[in-house]
Amino acid sequence: MAQLDVENLTLVFGGLAALSGVSIAVEKGELVSIIGPNGAGKTSLLNCISGFYHPTEGVIRFEGHDLTRASPHTATRYGIARAFQNIELFSGLTVLENLLLARHTHLRYGLFAAAVFYGRALSEEVEARAYVEEIIDFMELEPYRKRLVGSLPYGVRKRVEVARALTLGPKLLLLDEPMAGMTLEEKEDMVRFILDIRAERGTTIVLIEHDLGVVMDISDRVYVLDFGQVIAEGTPEVVAKNPRVLEAYVGGTA
């Protein structure tokens, strides 16, 4: 059984089908990319997997758990984290504070322990701080740890967005265009971080990205969406030669 199994997913808004019968399977430890023209349904698919949308039809299973109707909180508890295309950080807080806030979902102490801040509350907070500092070091954010997020360059904020998702300790990381709007140097850095996340942390990754060069270089497998349907799937080499993919991107096979 695949770690993530999406079967016949359909998502309808009014009379518009954003997704229609989409099925994907992702094995543990894979880096799978989802590509397609604008409006193909890529982000809608990630929204369903992470619990932000509930599909009209179909089933989503993660490690055997049915997450078809799960809330984002439930998806997070089972080990799914998300980095958004549009940066979803608290711009008035520091990098450290943003990551500590993300880690709160792993805190289990009650109101009384929080009030006296002793025992379990203290130990869990110390553990959370140590984990966050590890992520800051891993994502090379040490120079920015006490800077307000709103004051950081765009490329660094995108890196913080990925770090926030990593702070949740995910088994599956959903990345929605993590390199959008970046310079070439920033893209190269982000590619390195993505590969390190998989290699060093053993995290399964599902990536949406418009830079086809990056997708073809780093992906194990690629799914191609067009008008809410999967039109191709396979290794990057196979997908790049698929006539339907060429037609979707350039309007023809010539």
Token pair recorded at residue 199:
């290699």
Domains defined for the chain, CATH in brackets: 4-250 (3.40.50.300)
Token pair recorded at residue 72:
């984002």
What pLDDT score was predicted for residue 254? Answer: 38
What pLDDT score was predicted for residue 253? Answer: 44
What pLDDT score was predicted for residue 203? Answer: 97
What pLDDT score was predicted for residue 63? Answer: 97
Q: What is the model's pTM?
A: 0.89
Q: Which of 165, 250, 251 is nearest to 201 (CA)?
A: 165
- C-alpha torsion 179→184→188→189, nearest 10: -70
Token pair recorded at residue 35:
């590509």
What backbone torsions phi and psi does residue 52 show, to the nearest 5 degrees? -75, -35
User: Would you give per-residue pLDDT tens digits along the chain (254 residues)?
Assistant: 799 999 999 999 988 999 999 999 999 999 999 999 988 999 999 999 999 999 999 999 999 999 999 999 999 999 999 998 888 899 999 999 999 988 877 655 555 455 445 556 666 777 888 999 999 999 999 999 999 999 999 999 999 999 999 999 999 999 999 998 899 999 999 999 999 999 999 999 999 998 999 999 999 999 999 999 999 999 999 999 999 988 887 664 43
What pLDDT score was predicted for residue 127? Answer: 84
What pLDDT score was predicted for residue 167? Answer: 95
Coil, strand, or helix at residue 232? strand
Token pair recorded at residue 239:
């997908």
